[in-house]
Amino acid sequence: MIHVCMVRYGKELKGHSTTKLVKDIIEPVNNNVENVKFHILSDDEKKIGLDGKIDICNYSLSDAEIKRHNHWVKCYFFDPKMIGANKDDETIIVDIDMFWYNDPSCVINFPIKEGQFASMPRWWAKDKMKDCPISGNFYKFKSHEFKHVAEIYKKHYHYFKKFYWKNGLVDREDLGEQNFVWDMVKHAELLLQPAHWCFKESPEYPERYIYAFENYTGDKYLDWYDKAIWTHSRKGTH
């Protein structure tokens, strides 16, 4: 079983309905991948309209938890008991501001073994990959492999939520979750999915991602644009 987990709070994210963003993540996966269960940690008690058709577990997220943890609450999903994961199950944690271009099967079924941790390369921030090579947009791992991430975060979140900002490792005070996860799993064998699978774009400043992709891969951005599996949604694009 593959457990696909995501956090949803608020009505909108980057100008998009959070309900629609979640649906747009879930439906293509459900239509193309077998043996998948979805988990949504949300502040909205209302179902997203897919229940009954798709195997979805909903978890309540209070206003106090949102204020205290915001997107860092993703760390809860490293606890296999929370999602009812069996010993051989796999967990995927994905941000909802991602949008599928093509069949998501290769991303979701990306092979993982014990002792390995998979993510996507931050090719758009190559200069920061030395400190943190993984992207919080996507994690995949054996469900029982890294439960210490949830345990340590719950005990010491006050410290870690300030640490990366205070030490100049992130650009905003609310960031650092992916840095924390990396510090917790860096002993594992890291698997990065091909950079060509995930694209980023900016209507305001397209040259930024074109240059970054070509600098990282050596390939032409526009040659791979339509072949990408998914993209990071930005305000005004979806």
> How far apart, in whole angstroms, are the C-alpha atoms of residue 106 and residue 100?
12
Q: Is residue 67 part of a domain?
A: yes
Give which of 207, 216, 151 is closest to 184, Cα–Cα.
151
CATH code of the domain in which 67 resides: 3.90.550.10
Question: What does the pLDDT profile of the chain (238 residues) look like in tens digits?
Answer: 999 999 988 777 777 788 888 899 999 999 999 999 999 998 876 666 665 678 788 888 888 888 888 889 999 999 999 999 999 999 999 999 898 999 999 999 999 999 999 999 999 988 888 889 999 999 999 999 999 999 999 999 999 999 999 999 888 988 999 999 999 999 999 999 999 999 988 777 788 899 999 999 999 999 998 999 998 765 444 4
> How far is it, in rounded angstroms, from Cα 173 to Cα 164?
8
Instruction: Give a yes or no: residue 75 inside a domain.
Output: yes
Q: The domain containing residue 146 runs over which residues? A: 2-193
156 found inside a domain: yes
Q: What is the pTM of this model?
A: 0.93
> Domain count of the chain?
1
Does a structural domain hold residue 180?
yes
- Whether 214 maps to a domain, the answer reads no
State what percent of residues in the chain have pLDDT above 70: 94
124 lies in some domain: yes
Asked whether residue 45 is domain-assigned, the answer is: yes
pLDDT for residue 51? 56
Handedness of CA 51, 10, 152, 112 (dihedral sign): positive
**Is 131 a domain residue?**
yes
What are the contacts of 9-15 at 24+ separation with CB within 8 A? Answer: 9/42, 9/43, 9/44, 9/61, 9/66, 10/43, 13/96, 13/97, 14/97, 14/233, 14/234, 14/235, 15/235, 15/236
List, as own/partner pairs, every contact residues 152-155 make where C-beta atoms lie below 8 angstroms and the sequence separation is at least 24, other chains included.
152/184, 153/72, 153/75, 153/76, 153/78, 153/180, 154/75, 154/76
